[in-house]
């Protein structure tokens, strides 16, 4: 069994952060989203993994993951370049996959309980393809499943104006190599892409065994700022345990808080769940729940809550910063009256308030 992580796409909904790096490397709880994906594949027993790279700084992905050895896997890199569709990206993996079954996992998706149980059902059921579905409030944003009266899956519709059900296609797909024969026969959609929904539809139409299951727990597609913040809060809430390694001086650190080595907290209050990376300085500030602070960040005379602050950023003299995603090396400074601020700030930005 092999794994494929799709690491492409333009990330337009997360600009300006995605002008300087792929969306899948944006961290939640100080870990890139796609690293959770890779670790989920590894924990399901998959050690041979391909990462399909897009055109947004692919070298940053290779720099972070290397050959995969420090994560306990073997990584092969495949270059897609322009975003020509999920099915196009899958088609590029034919040589890597060979005769093995494989799982395709979108690099910006997170599943609360992972894929292990669904992988087992795919293998035990001897399916040619196996998809995961989740009931959603607005199915018009997704590929949506269509069932007959007996509950049999008979098709998929991409972003329908009138959805045939409320069950969206989750970004995890299990395939046998027969899928490559189907992809060869696909035509680009109106978006100019080879659609994964068309691929699965063609498998169904040709009589292949396509199974499905409903995802238990939460599923997150981290394609927008609010999605990142929500994912960050969920991960912090469920997976963070108290571990304070840094220096705490005349400060209060309450609850499930991680403070990495080399960080100094002075005359401040930190209330978990919170994670603070290495080499940070928190001085005369309040760090509230559901906040992640990357390596090398300085927070001075400020209050922060429900935020993701990326490495080497500066937040200074800000009375209250909340629900904000702040990029690498960005500087947020206050220069006027008290206010509540909500921001989405890209790398190397500078804001005076």
d(CA 158, CA 52): 22
pTM of the model: 0.89
Kindly list the distances between the CA atom of residue 215 and the CA atoms of 62, 190, 223, 236, in Å, as whole numbers in the listed order: 30, 29, 19, 21
pLDDT in tens, 293-350: 999 999 999 999 999 999 999 999 998 999 988 888 888 887 655 566 666 666 556 5
pLDDT in tens, 259-273: 999 999 999 999 999
pLDDT at 212 exceeding the cut of 70: yes
Burial call 275-288: b when 16+ CB within 10 Å, e when fewer: bbbbbbbbbebbbb
pLDDT: which is higher, 247 or 81:
247
pLDDT in tens, 221-237: 777 778 889 999 999 99
Q: Name the pLDDT band for 17 (thresholds 50, 70, 90).
A: low
Q: Could you give the domains of the chain?
A: 2-235 (3.90.550.10), 240-352 (2.160.10.10)
**Contact call for residues 20 and 57 (beta carbons, < 8 A):** yes
Name the token pair of 220. 């997150």
Within 10 angstroms of residue 155's Cβ, the number of other Cβ atoms is 16
Percent of the chain surpassing pLDDT 70: 91
- At what angle are helices 58-65 and 33-43 packed, to 10 degrees? 50
d(CA 277, CA 45): 29
pLDDT in tens, 116-149: 999 999 999 989 999 999 988 888 888 888 888 8
Contacts of 323 (CB under 8 A, 6+ apart): 226, 229, 306, 307, 342
Name the token pair of 186. 């696909």
**Contact call for residues 46 and 96 (beta carbons, < 8 A):** no
Sign of CA dihedral 13, 15, 17, 18: positive
- Highest mean pLDDT among 14-28, 90-104, 217-231 belongs to 90-104
Rounded (5°) CA angle 7-226-297:
80
- Calculate mean pLDDT across residues 151-164: 85
């Amino acid at each position: 069994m092999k794994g494929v992580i799709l690491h492409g796409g333009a990330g337009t909904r997360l600009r300006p952060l995605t002008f300087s790096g792929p969306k899948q490397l944006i961290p939640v709880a100080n870990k890139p989203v796609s690293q959770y994906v890779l670790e989920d594949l590894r924990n399901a027993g998959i050690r041979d993994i391909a990462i399909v790279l897009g055109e947004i700084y692919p070298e940053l992905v290779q720099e972070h993951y290397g050959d995969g050895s420090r994560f306990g896997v073997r990584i092969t890199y495949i270059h897609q370049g322009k975003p020509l569709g999920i099915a196009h990206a899958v088609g590029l993996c034919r040589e890597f996959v060979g005769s093995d079954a494989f799982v395709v996992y979108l690099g910006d998706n997170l599943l609360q309980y992972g894929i292990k149980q669904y992988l087992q059902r795919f293998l035990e059921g001897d399916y040619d393809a196996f998809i995961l579905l989740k009931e959603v409030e607005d199915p018009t944003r997704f590929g949506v499943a269509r069932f007959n009266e007996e509950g049999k899956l008979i098709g998929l519709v991409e972003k329908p104006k009138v959805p045939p059900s409320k069950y969206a296609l989750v970004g995890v797909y299990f395939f046998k190599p027969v899928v490559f024969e189907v992809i060869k026969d696909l035509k680009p959609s109106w978006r100019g892409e080879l659609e994964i929904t068309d691929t699965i539809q063609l498998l169904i139409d040709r009589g292949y065994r396509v199974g499905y299951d409903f995802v238990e727990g939460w599923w997150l597609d981290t394609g927008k700022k609010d999605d990142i913040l929500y994912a960050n809060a969920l991960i912090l809430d469920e997976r963070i345990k108290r571990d304070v390694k840094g220096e705490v001086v005349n400060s209060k650190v309450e609850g499930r808080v991680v403070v990495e080595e080399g960080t100094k907290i002075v005359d401040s209050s930190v209330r978990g769940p919170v994670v603070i990376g290495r080499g940070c300085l928190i001085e005369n500030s309040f760090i509230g729940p559901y906040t992640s602070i990357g390596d090398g960040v300085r927070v001075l005379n400020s209050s922060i809550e429900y935020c993701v602050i990326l490495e080497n950023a500066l937040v200074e003299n800000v009375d209250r910063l909340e629900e904000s995603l702040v990029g690498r090396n960005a500087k947020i400074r206050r220069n006027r009256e008290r206010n509540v601020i909500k921001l989405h700030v890209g790398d190397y930005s500078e804001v005076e308030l």
